[in-house]
A and B are shown apart, each in its own frame.
Chain A
């Protein structure tokens, strides 16, 4: 088949110019704008040449999902509707992606859990859907507050999982997410996570690319599996469905299919490194004390490091940007000099600390904590306190925390 002519430089029906992604993200002028995280999601989607967005209300993503509806009304998105539940929405997203559309959706907390059956199916069907996860509590009694426990459930679905720290990350990564997940050798869904409220409902200065430039459209014929649009021959897939068979060929088929998905996650490394400028960011990792974390805990960690510096304690920082692919080599390298590794997290189980312990030599160096959950904030002082206590330094008790 002949290569179709490039669309770069041509305009879509809204007058936006399809722009080379590298130029769009690295060379185009940026305008500082004071926006909430939800508004930033809308602005990123405006520039992402999205075909279909499917919405469902759940705090704290409702505002972003509704704002994208405004984009649809303005004509920036091909189709948009409210589904009936997160399980249905994620299946509707799958249907749209099977049909060759670039698909976007958002969810949070209990919605993520309700939709869970869809995620390994998305990965298995190689659908490069992008799902924003604005994390919130999933526990009972009912909570709508920030809590990142739901991310741990996504880690083994076969999806790419990224964890944004700031609204700026969010803006850039929504666009970059499509570039990575739609690569033919990846072609997997992306869960782009952030800490609900802290990122979605606070205002921040975000440098936006020009609104009249957008990503080139998705080309479904670069998919490693056929697009279900009856535009290519409908060959019989197999003589007998493997679900029926209890034999070696059946097991081998299912096994190799799963292995291929995890191989595709591995292959996403090079693309993620290219677009995100590495899977982790580091500061002063020659220090003996390190904070290694992801999401807004990174911001709190950065502030804790400043407080520690005032007291003459030197501490470095590792910001983990991608959880899948997991930056194993990068974390081993960044932590090789550290004697103490602190992993502050916004959840009760400390799933990130467990991942890091499983990654590095001498895992006793990892101090899992501090943990806050159920919507509690993480004042930098409690990170400082955790570090000083572990090091045997005198630490002031924190009022109101029962300590």
Chain B
């Protein structure tokens, strides 16, 4: 999509909602080095949200949407759950269809966009909860990876079914007492990052969303690798503070506690050889671009 497409006709300007006017005036579509630092100085691609106060998922949404390298040509695919309450407020085309079929939808979507727009970049990013990704949708999650579908899968791992009221999920920790796990969950947290690696993902990261700079890095890497090489997977801890008995202001600390080196969300990364090469090339280009910009700036000031 070119930026002209979102321009408002002068005659209609005053009747457009203010958030749309803001999108046209100061969103970062097309900005080459967009990232989390744009938050606060530009119009974000998310307008409000209906999540609980202090929900780490809302932080994750803001960082991810700020970090997508190509939002003007990105289509997101969601699934049923808390994320589906946010997507209607997101200024990127997004699809909700059923619960758990997100990677199947994304497979068809990516292929259709490749057929219709040959030679153009159209990124597809899946964003769904752990129930959708690992339980009901596991087959389609894995099969998309086996087929080497070129899109990114992001799992918001809150270790339970939050939207239906805190039931046991496959990514829940063993022993956790929850609805439908009345004597505590009886089996280990499913090791999806390892499964992702074995299933053919080229870039896999397991981490929390406590650090926006880290979220920005892994999102950019995941989207670029998916675009050029093959499937990528990010498992991001977005604790459900409501269901684990935390207060609104305690979500950040919960993530910090869970990312310590011995904890289950200690930063883990797998990068395939072709992906390493691509990321090195992109980093070199980025460095070159920054050096050129710096030189230009010093010439201008001289």
Residue with the greatest number of chain B CB neighbours at <10 A, chosen from A85, A87, A91, A121 = A91
B190 proximal to A (CB < 8 A): no
Cβ-defined contact, B91 with A81, below 8 A: no
A244 CA to B50 CA, complexed, in Å: 9
Establish whether residues B140 and A96, one from each chain, have CB atoms under 8 Å apart when the complex forms: no
Interchain CB contact (< 8 A) of A96 among B47, B101, B109, B139: B109
Assembly CA distance A237 to B96 (angstroms): 12
Contact among A79, A94, A236 for B91, CB-based, below 8 A: A236
Tell me the dominant secondary structure on chain B's binding face.
helix
Range for the number of chain A residues in contact with chain B: 35 or more
Interface residue A329 (Cβ < 8 Å from any Cβ of B): no
**Is A100 interfacial (CB-CB < 8 Å)?**
yes
Choose from B17, B95, B112 the contact partner of A52 (Cβ within 8 Å). Answer: B112
B84:A243 contact, CB within 8 angstroms: yes
Distance A118 CA – B101 CA, assembled complex (angstroms): 10
Contact check, A92 vs B107: say whether CB atoms are below 8 A apart: yes
A118, B98: Cβ atoms under 8 Å? yes
Q: With A and B bound together, what is the CA distance between A144 and B193 in angstroms?
A: 40
Contact yes or no, A95 B112, CB < 8 A: yes
Among residues of B, the one whose C-beta sits closest to the C-beta of A228 is B93
Chain A residues closer than 8 Å to B117, beta-carbon distance: 229
* Contact between B85 and A101, CB atoms less than 8 A apart: no
- Nearest CB of A to B43, in Å: 12
What per-residue 1/0 map shows which CB atoms of B98-126 lie under 8 Å from chain A? 10010011111111111111000010000
With A92-B108, A230-B72 known as contacts, the answer to whether A79 contacts B93 (CB < 8 A) is no
Contact in complex: B50, A241 (CB < 8 Å) = yes
Q: Is the CB of A94 within 8 A of B97?
A: yes
Evaluate contact between B47 and A236: CB separation under 8 angstroms: yes
Which residues of A are found within 8 Å of B92, using beta-carbon distances? 230, 234
Shortest Cβ distance from residue A310 to the other chain B in the assembled complex, whole angstroms: 54
Whether B6 and A233, one on each chain, are in contact in the complex, defined by CB atoms closer than 8 angstroms, is yes
- Min Cβ gap A211→B in Å is 22
Instruction: Say if the beta carbon of B147 comes within 8 Å of chain A.
Output: yes
Q: How far in angstroms is the closest Cβ of chain A from B265?
A: 29
B176 within 8 Å of A by Cβ? no
- Asked if B1 and A91 sit within 8 Å, CB to CB, the answer is no
Complex: A66 Cα to B148 Cα, angstroms: 21
Which residues in A have their C-beta under 8 angstroms from that of B143?
Answer: 83-84, 88
Chain A 93-108 interface 0/1 with B at a Cβ cutoff of 8 Å (1 = within): 1111111110100000
Q: How many residues of B contact A (CB 8 A)?
A: 47
B74 at interface (Cβ–Cβ under 8 A)?
yes
**A27-B87 Cα distance, complex, nearest whole Å:** 49
Residues A122-177 near B (CB distance < 8 A): 125
Question: Nearest residue in A to B143 (C-beta to C-beta)?
Answer: A84
B89 contacts A by Cβ under 8 Å: yes
Are A230 and B74 interface neighbours, CB within 8 A? yes
The residue that B20 contacts in the complex, of A51, A81, A91, A235, with Cβ under 8 A, is A235
Contacting residue for A98 out of B50, B89, B109, B122, CB 8 A: B109
Nearest CB in chain B to that of A92: its residue: B108
Q: In this complex, what residue of A is CB-closest to B17? A: A236
B88 at the interface (CB under 8 A from A): yes
Q: How far is the CA of A243 from the CA of B86 in the complex (A)?
A: 11
List A contacts of B122 (CB < 8 A). 229-230
Given contacts A98-B109, A230-B93, contact A51 B115 (CB under 8 A): yes
CB of B46 to closest CB in A, whole Å: 9
Asked if A244 and B85 sit within 8 Å, CB to CB, the answer is yes
Closest to A85 in B: B139
Task: Say yes or no: A92 contacts B105, CB within 8 Å.
Answer: yes
Interface assignment of B75: CB less than 8 Å from any CB of chain A: yes
Contact check, A236 vs B115: say whether CB atoms are below 8 A apart.
Answer: no
Instruction: List A contacts of B77 (CB < 8 A).
Output: 95
Closest to A118 in B: B98
- Specify which chain B residues have a CB less than 8 angstroms from the CB of A87 in the assembled complex: 101, 104
In the complex, chain A residues whose CB is within 8 Å of the CB of B115 = 51-52, 78-79, 101
The distance in angstroms between the C-alpha atoms of A238 and B17, with both chains bound, is 11
Question: Cβ of B91 and Cβ of A235 under 8 Å apart?
Answer: yes
Q: Which A residues are in CB contact (< 8 Å) with B48?
A: 239
Q: A125-B97, A241-B85 are in contact. Are A236 and B19 (CB under 8 A)?
A: yes
User: Given A231-B5, A239-B48, A240-B50, 14 other A-B contacts at CB below 8 A?
Assistant: A87-B104, A88-B101, A88-B140, A91-B98, A91-B101, A92-B105, A92-B107, A93-B108, A100-B116, A101-B108, A117-B98, A229-B75, A229-B116, A236-B47
A-B CB proximity, top 6 nearest = A95-B108, A99-B112, A78-B115, A91-B104, A96-B108, A101-B112
Subset of 20 A-B contacts with CB under 8 Å: A51-B116, A52-B112, A78-B116, A79-B111, A79-B114, A88-B104, A88-B139, A88-B140, A92-B105, A94-B97, A95-B109, A95-B110, A96-B108, A98-B108, A101-B116, A121-B97, A230-B73, A236-B17, A240-B50, A243-B84
- Measured CB to CB, the residues of A under 8 A from B are 51-52, 54, 78-79, 81, 83-85, 87-89, 91-101, 103, 117-118, 121, 125, 226, 228-241, 243-244
